Amino acid sequence: MKWRLLHTLLVGLVLAGIVHIVIIFLIPKYGTRDAWAFLSSRTDQFSFTRLDNNRSGNAIAETDPFFAYGICRFDLSENGVIIQGQKSSTYWSASVFNDSGTVLYSLNDRTAIDNLPYMVIVSPVQSLELREIQPAELETSVVIEANTRRGYVIIRVLEPDSSYRDASQKFLGGISCRPYEPQPDLPPQDAASEADSTGEDGKSK
């Protein structure tokens, strides 16, 4: 009788442990789905949106009260995405996520080119096209190959107190997010010839 009771207790403990582990693994999965749904209902694709920390809910799992945040959602089905901004005198960082909430790439003011939030995000197929076209952005921006169809970029800038607010809001307000269609980087002579062959109305002469 005692052995049967002990066996029952052990089985119960094992089952409880399995259920606990399953719940732990499910929490991040459903949490990131909620974050994507939350952001989708409040932000437009290919548009940089500043986030209010007090109203962000669970959209960002670990918000730091000493930073101001902005987000750009993208879909690489047809085009890449290009994000551009101005320099900041304070620290900033950017992270690229897929729609499951997994970080694909991150950079900051120290690792970016010329301290600029200037990046191009493309799919693997679009990355091959970039190598063929060789656009000017390859030399001036951080090109990120993202193995995902849709995702988002979160950019944060240091704002430890109200004295930083004007600078941080100006920095976030100056960031653009738009679809990216690469153009070949023409030599000056070829570029001038192309300009001469085009009228002021944008039509060929």
Helix (H) or strand (E) holding 57, with range, is none
Tokens of 41: 């209902």
For the chain, which residues make up each domain, given as ranges?
Answer: 41-183
pTM score > 0.85 for this model?
no
Q: Give the whole-angstrom CA distance, residue 96 versus residue 110.
A: 17
Query: Per residue of the chain (205 residues), what is the pLDDT tens digit?
Result: 555 555 555 555 544 444 334 333 433 443 445 567 778 888 899 999 998 765 544 456 567 889 999 999 999 999 999 999 999 999 999 999 998 889 999 999 999 999 999 999 999 999 999 989 999 888 899 999 999 999 999 999 999 999 999 999 999 999 999 999 988 865 545 444 444 544 545 454 4
In angstroms, how far is CA 32 from the centroid of its own chain? 14
Q: Give the whole-angstrom CA distance, residue 141 versus residue 47.
A: 19
Overall CATH class of domain 41-183: mainly beta
Helix (H) or strand (E) holding 51, with range, is strand 48-51
